[in-house]
Amino acid sequence: MKITQSEALFAAAKKVMPGGVNSPVRSFRSVGGVPPFLVRGEGSHVVDADGNRYIDYVLSYGPLLLGHAAPMIGEAIKKATDHGTSYGAPTPDEVTLARLVTSLLPSMEMVRMVNSGTEATMSAIRLARAYTGREYILKFIGCYHGHSDSLLVQAGSGASTFGVPDSPGVTKGTAATTLSVPFNDLPALEKVFAAKGRDIAAVIMEPTPGNMGLILPKDGYLPAVQDLARRYGSLLIIDEVMSGFRAAQGGSQSLYGIDPDITCLGKVIGGGLPVAAYGGKRKIMEMVSPVGPMYQAGTLSGNPLAMAAGIAALTWMRDHKVCDTLPERCAVLCKGLADAAAAACVPVRIHHLGSMFTVFFTDKDPMNYDDVCACDKEAFKIYFHTMLENGVYLPPSQFETNFISLAHSDEDFAQTIAAARKAFAAIASR
């Protein structure tokens, strides 16, 4: 039987790259099957090596707020490329993007550009430890902040755990200074603070977690976390790598009235090129080298092509009020998906916020990581593959968030809902 181009490419890729991919989730391991090798994006669509077109709700896991191959971004990159690709020196566009970011997120009085969300959160953790002189970090089970050792720690379920390495290679010593508690569980957090609060340099959290699917904070939870951190002299690091410019133009912090000490950004800020950032209160950021003693550096930080893409993306987003229009469009899509599931009597809970959404296969509203682990994984696999077969490309995991863009049309949504009807029928008849 003739194999597809993607099958041939995947076989070749696995010979030279672990799992044939440069980031694990892309391998389709959790859902099975061969990942389509994509050759181009067109607005709301992607095209694979065999010419199949899909409506794309991965959007590079968030960056493509304006859709694939957005003209204003491509033109900005091309223009920058005409002058070179990197200098290792300060450039005007770094000032422009820094001023744009700090104007959009007022809690960020100063900002440092880096190349990935991992770098941003890793640097934020180091900064918090340098600023407070304390060693412990507290994170939330199911939140993902990139793969730096201190944060690649996932406590087992339960109230509060003193770090258990989630990956071989993370030393027991490193994990021991990372505490984890369930999200949305204030008593568990209060208990850890009562025990270790004076040793905690920072609490780091996704305010609206997107790495266990999209989980929303209980009323009053985020301000309570902030108050607790303040009471014990710990910094509050808000990781908006995903939610920044996706939950709202001012990030989730603007929706929930949070005033973090440090914020991490990524994804949308680079318009699809490698840009991330950490920033916050001036007195804290002035600890960062070369002004202060906390060291952090990067050859390609503030790269001119990436700065040009980020400036184009954020300027267009701001001037065309993209973050004002997408939430309502996302809500319309999610209503159609919910109606399709109800018509097939398939139990789902759908969370959406801004331009992000997740379909959970469960009859209980998921509030934390354990709830998501209890979702029907087999149903998700049927959903995922039926959607793919019907031209809809979704993140291949129940623990991921889906994204819409400015390029997604009513026709795209109608096709998506029609595909979902087939998927829910397949689940109902299994």
Tell me how far, at minimum, the Cβ of 411 lies from ligand KE4, in Å.
27
Contact status: 213 vs ligand KE4 (CB under 6 A): no
Helix 186-196, helix 221-231: angle, nearest 10: 10
Which residues are CB-contacts of 393 (< 8 A; sequence separation ≥ 6)? Answer: 36, 46, 54, 55, 56, 57, 58, 387
* Closest CB to ligand KE4 among residues 128, 341: 128
Residues 120-149 that bind ligand KE4 (CB under 6 A): 121, 144-146
CA pair distance 109, 292, nearest whole angstrom: 16
Contact status: 400 vs ligand KE4 (CB under 6 A): yes
Tell me how far, at minimum, the Cβ of 409 lies from ligand KE4, in Å.
25
Given candidates 185, 206, 376, 412, which one binds ligand KE4 under the rule CB under 6 A?
206
Helix 377-389, helix 410-428: angle, nearest 10: 130
Tell me how far, at minimum, the Cβ of 64 lies from ligand KE4, in Å.
13
Given candidates 239, 371, 376, 412, which one binds ligand KE4 under the rule CB under 6 A?
239
* Closest CB to ligand KE4 among residues 43, 274: 274
End-to-end alpha-carbon separation of the chain, Å?
A: 28
Q: Which of 46, 137, 154 lies closest to 392 in space, CA to CA?
A: 46
Annotation marks residue 239 as catalytic: yes
Annotation marks residue 267 as catalytic: yes
Residue type, 408: H
Q: Which of 59, 54, 61, 9 lies closest to 34 in space, CA to CA?
A: 9
CB atoms within 10 A of CB 133: 7
Tell me how far, at minimum, the Cβ of 239 lies from ligand KE4, in Å.
5
Residue from 54, 267, 369, 383 carrying the catalytic annotation: 267
- Total number of residues binding ligand KE4 (CB under 6 A)? 19
Strands 178-182 and 136-141: parallel
Sign of CA dihedral 419, 330, 25, 170: negative
Tell me how far, at minimum, the Cβ of 213 lies from ligand KE4, in Å.
10
Annotation marks residue 383 as catalytic: no
Given candidates 36, 43, 251, 266, which one binds ligand KE4 under the rule CB under 6 A?
266
Catalytically active residues, by annotation: 144, 239, 267
Q: Which residues sit at the interface with ligand KE4, rule CB under 6 A?
A: 23, 25, 61, 116-118, 121, 144-146, 206, 210-211, 239, 241-242, 266, 276, 400
